[in-house]
Each structure stands twice: as C-alpha cells, then as structure tokens.
Structure 1
Amino acid sequence: MSSESTSPVIDTARRAQEAAAELAPSPRTVRDGALLAIADALVARTEEIIAANAEDVAKARAAGTSEAVVDRLTLTPERVAAIASDVRDVVALPDPVGEVVRGSTLPNGLELRQVRVPLGVVGIVYEARPNVTVDAAALCLKSGNAVLLRGSSSAYASNTALVGVLRDAVAGAGLPADVVQLVPGEGRESVRELMRARGLVDVLIPRGGASLIRTVVEESTVPVIETGVGNCHVYVDAAADLDMAVSILLNAKVSRPSVCNAAETLLVHADVAEEFLPMALKALGEVGVTVHGDETVQRFTGMGAPVLPATDEDWETEYLSYDIAVAVVPDLDAAVRHIRRWSSGHSEAIVTGSQAAARRFVQRVDSTAVLVNASTRFTDGGQFGFGAEIGISTQKLHARGPMGLPELTSTKYVVTGDGHVR
C-alpha cells in the first residue's frame, strides 16, 4: 500500500493500525474492562439500537427481502440482551495474548518460546447480521486486535448505531476508540478498497453467502480466512433410534433455519426408510417444512410435509428456510459419498446406535464438524465453549471450525540468550 494512497477507507485502516499498536500491549484488565463497558452500554442503549434497526427492517421488507434474511437482520430487546451476555462471556474466557504455545532450552543454552500475539488489524465483511458487529468487535478486542467492520448496506443504520455504542464504551474504558471502526461507504467500492489494503489490514474474514465469500477470496490482496456456507447433512443410519432421529432432525432444521449450522439435507438408510420417513414427514409437516425428495421419498407424498421432486440443485442448496432435501441411500458408504460430493464442508451428523457405524462415518466424512447423535446446531463457538465466534472456517489452513480467541492470534518466537553469537 503506497504511503501516498488515501481515501476514507484507507484513512480508516491507517487509524486502525495505529490503534492496534496501542491495544496489543494493553493488559487483560484494560481489555476486559472495555468489554464489560460494552455489555453495559448495549443494555443501557437498547432503545436507540432497536430504533435504528427498525429502519433497516422496514427497508428490507419494503424491498421484498425474504423472511429468512429479515430474521437475521432483526434485533429485539431479547436479542440485544443476549448479545450483551455473549460479550460478558468473552470476558470470562482465558486471554490468548502472551500464551506460550511451546518453549524449550536449546543445546546451546538459548531459551526459545513461541508466544501468541494479536493478528493486528482484522477486517470483517459480512451480510445482514448486526449481531456479528458486536461479536466480532468483542473477540477482536479480547485478542488484542483492532477491527474494521464492513456490514451490508441493508444493516447500515443498525451497524452505525452499534458501532457508536461500542466506540463510546471503549473510549470510556481508556482505549483508543479507533480499535473499533465501521468501514465508510455503502457501495461495493469501499469493499474493494478494504480488500486491497494490504499492509494496513492484516487479515480479512468474510461472513455470509457463497457469492460474498467467493468474491472476497478471489479478489482480495489481503490474506483471507475463508468461512463457508452451511450445506449441512443429517444421516439416519440403519441402527438409529428413530425417535431420537426425529428429535435431532427437527432441532437441526427448524430451531433456527436461517443460520449456517441448520440442516439442509436428510439422508436415510434404506433399511429404515419405510418406518422412518412417515415419522419424519409428519413431524416436518407439522412445523411447515417443504421436502425436496428423491424418487423413493416421493412415494411418501401425502404423509405430512409436501414433497417436491429433488434436483441436483437441491442437493447443493443452502436453503436457510423451511425447506429440506431428502434422499434414501442404500448404506452408510453411499451417505458418505453423497456428503463428500454435495457438502460445503461445514457440519454433518449421524444418528446411530452402532459404534462401528459412528467410527466409520467420523473417519470418512471430511467436514469442519462431525456430530454423532447430536444436532448440527451445536457447531457454534458459544456451544463449544469458545464464547461468541467470529465465524466458522471451512478451510484447512490456520483455523478450521468455529473461530474463537486463539484463532484470532498468530505467534512469534522470543529468543533469549546470554551474549550468544552464531
């Protein structure tokens, strides 16, 4: 990045870089104090936040935005309180900064330590999820990073209000307000500038749909940690407890269908299909789910949920709605082949009473999270005990799975000698 380059986005990044240098050596007590101030301010200024959010929701509905997206956009007093609670949970987490990953005394007497350090300036590009604004800021602040937040234009009023609250709280706690900034601009050009701010921004993390993630990964000159869409599967094995399978399926699909860890495809072993599919279709129908089924599943039309013919597009779709693709497979290996072909690599679950089947599934499915007799909805930083996550990485370098505090650090080596020369 040329020192001559300037624009509102670049100026913001430069301020973030300066703030990051001041934040990195700050003690945990100061960073935790800022987080507690943020949590208190969110609760105290809830009405202000909800009023700004109402503007975004009204515009979204007027534009014909799907209810799944509107749900992700919407803030309520309860959701704001939950976000504040998540921030307090982050305070209680161990501080990763300064943690010694490994250390030793070399044969020549040099003391070698590998310690965790902040990444520096973290840019987050995300869609209509204003809760991400606070989650990302909290995790970055705890791990000693400055954060540049670029949410979608559809959440601009919400994000502006939230970042105002965050900056006031951080400054009141004695840290530079510029450790948390909203990237200026609502158009695509501001995103492009952020993606090309190499040397000022240390890493970009995209959160959103496939198109957003692909654009950031392919066009950014700033290093990217790739998060992925959630085409998640539930496989009901021949040895499954079928009542358990219905319970897990319903939780995975409908507890919150608009999130990335919701199940989008159900695979059923042929040996239990005749008994299980009527149970599943009845349960799905009662909660308003539409099934996109293969030829075998279509024979059960009229037993509950509406059944539409499935196409290849259904097998690869992240619906984020009350829709699910359903197929009957001859055996576990066929289920694994289906998952390996169509999955986004996020989360896959097996329901089975067979330890051998569970082991085989876990060994052969190559996804971020593989769950045995548990809902895909557990793939979440909070549920894993990491605190509010900054995203779920589906790549294999640096970070994979729910990204908590350690994943927002790098390391450096500290070498201590006593006049050693080589």
Structure 2
Amino acid sequence: MRDQEPVPGNTERRLSTKEAAELLGVKPETVYAYVSRGQLSSRRVPGGRGSTFDAGEVEVLARRNKRESGGSSSTGGELSVRTRLTLIDTDRYYFRGVDAAELAARYSYEEVAEWLWTGRLRPGLAFTAPRASVTAARRAVEALPEHTTPTDRLRVAAIAASAADPLRFDLSEEAVLGTARTLIPTLVAALPPVGRGHRDAGPMAHRLWTRLSGTPANEASLRVLDTALALLVDHDLAASTLAVRVAASARAHAYAAVSAGLGVIEGPLHGAASGLAHRLLLDVLDQGSAAPVIADELRAGRRIPGLGHRLYPGEDPRARALFGLLEEIPQAAPALAAARDIVATTARHTPLHANVDLALAVFTASSGMASTAGETIFTVARTAGWIAHALEEYGERPLRMRPSGHYVGPRPPQPLPG
C-alpha cells in the first residue's frame, strides 16, 4: 500500500474481509476494490478462500477516508485547496459548474480549454504557435536519443519554448493566457510526425493525430480524439496538478509550472496508466480471451490497469463518453470486445468499472497507435488544466503550498556519527 504511515502495535493483527468492511464503513466488495487500487494489501487465508488484511493499514485508510469526507478537524487533515475550476461529484464532474462530459460532446478541445481558463466560450477558437517557439522546441527534441519517449520530448519542448520567450516571467493573467494559447500548439508541433501529411494548422486534434498514427484519419476517429482531449483537460487536484500549483505558489512562470506537471505525469499510476492498459488489451486480443491474461497479471501481483477510480465509486464518466463514441467506429469493435472481457473477467473477483485509461487504450490500440499514445493525449490535454490551476494559484498568497513536515526520526541530540 502507498503513502501509509505505520500504526505501532498493530503490525501483526489481521482482519477478515467482514471486519475490514465494518471498520471502513463499506461493503465487502469495496474492500477488494481498495486492494485492486493499491490502497490495501491482502493475504490469503491458509487453506481457505478468504483474505485477511493488516489492521494497521485498514485503520489508516479509515482515518484517511474520514478526513477526505470532511470528518476531521481543521488540524491534521489532508491538504485542501479552494478552486473554481473542477468539481467531482457522484460519478460526474463539472468545469466551472457545467457538466464536463456535455461540454466535451458539444465543443472542441480548444473551446473547452478557453472555458476553463476564462469562463467564456469562443466558438471556432484555434491555437497558433509562434515560429520561433516551434523552431526552438523542434531543435531541442531532434537532439534527443531515438529511444526517447513522447513525454520526454514534451518536457524538453516546454523548456525550449520557455527559453525562446523573453516575456515568460510576466505572471499577469493576460500574459499567462497568451502563453497557454501558444505553448500547447508548440508542444504538439515539436512531436515528430508518424506518417506523411502532418499538419501544423487547424484543430488541435487534427494536428495531434499525425503525431500519433500513420493511418489517415476519419471524422469519427478525430471526434474521439478531440473529445478525449476535452474530457481530460482537468480533473481536480491530480498529482501532476498539485505539483503545478506548488510551482506556481513559488511564483514559477507558466512554462516552469507546466514542466513541474510534466515531471509527475509519467508515473504508472497517472498519465502512463493508459499505456499499461494498451499493452494489456493487446495481450487479450492476441490470446483471444482475457482470462489467461488476467490470471498472469494477478499471479505476478500486479494490479489490473484500466479499472476502477478512487473518485468514482461507479462508472468513470470520461470512459462512458469515449466508449459511446468508439462504438460508432467499426475498427474499434475487437478492442471494445476485449475491454468488456477484461471488465467481466475481473468482476468475478473485484467488481470494478472501466476507467478512462481503458477507454484510451481501446482508442489507441484500434487506431494503429503506439502504447505511449494515450499518455501523449493525456499530457497535451492536461497542459490546459495546469495553466488554469497556475492562474488560480498566482492569485493566492505566495508560498502557501508549504506543508509542515512531521518528524519521526531519532530525537536530538544524537552523538556525531563515528
């Protein structure tokens, strides 16, 4: 289990599934969902079919859940940041109070990004990258080794674009919005095209497609890509977004704040999760059934990617929106069937819904894209959200994102090491 503080005196005590569920105030199946998400560890009962759980881990998770639900006092609680951007509530989420899935269904990625930044819609909005910014970013990216990942390229492109902008230290809202509208197309333009006919103009989804797939795009596929970008613009205080706000709190300029997010998003529990789901999906398609693939994953002690989300007890609304569009694409049918097989097979042990990572995997696998394509889509999309959070943070007291450490080491004074 991650990010768990030890509970002295409880390391040997084990709880049954029923006892753990009662302590957590959840159903027994939810306990197994916590295991699948990596929030609890379990141990099989020798000679039996049930599982036991470390009492210390369960108690820590119970306290954490209580704090997150508002049951703690003002001291000792987890970090909470006031924001006007995104609300997640009961298997739906909202951008500035408007249903995000409905926004993504009706408006382009650029229009949704502008809504998040300013609270205004600008129909037909297109982002344009300055020639100097694109040239600097491309030169930096071209100097990287061949095996470099797309996220590496995006990180380097952001730094190069920053160096090409002498006005980057202007933190006024107008200047930061100008940076946002030029940085995103610069990042996309810096990615090497996969096939012929790459585009550096027009809707962002069209430009990005030529960096992800060598096959010609059709309108249905471009609609999925554009919708995915819009859906992924923001998702409250995800790990990368928190890093961006910390950087902005220290008054780092917008490029540096985005770079902080780029340094976090590559983790397998964040932006890279769709790549793991992509490879799992290909294995299922190759084997013809999810059962042996899921069995191998569980035998190796790995969590099943693409399933469950700690913020959505039910279905991830982003996945629901993308699956609905993917059903209209004939070439996505095999991957969709494989995804349903994964969900159904895993549900025999842990009833979890598909999340947006599995939906992205269906899209990338059925579009002839590399396993890293979902991470690229996620990163380009989320850059808009990072800028929105940086803008909010620039309006707050500087250096407020500075929690105090809770020292648990040896009490001083200690003798000098000999």
TM-score interval, smaller chain = under 0.3
Higher strand share: 1
Q: What TM-score, normalized to structure 1?
A: 0.23
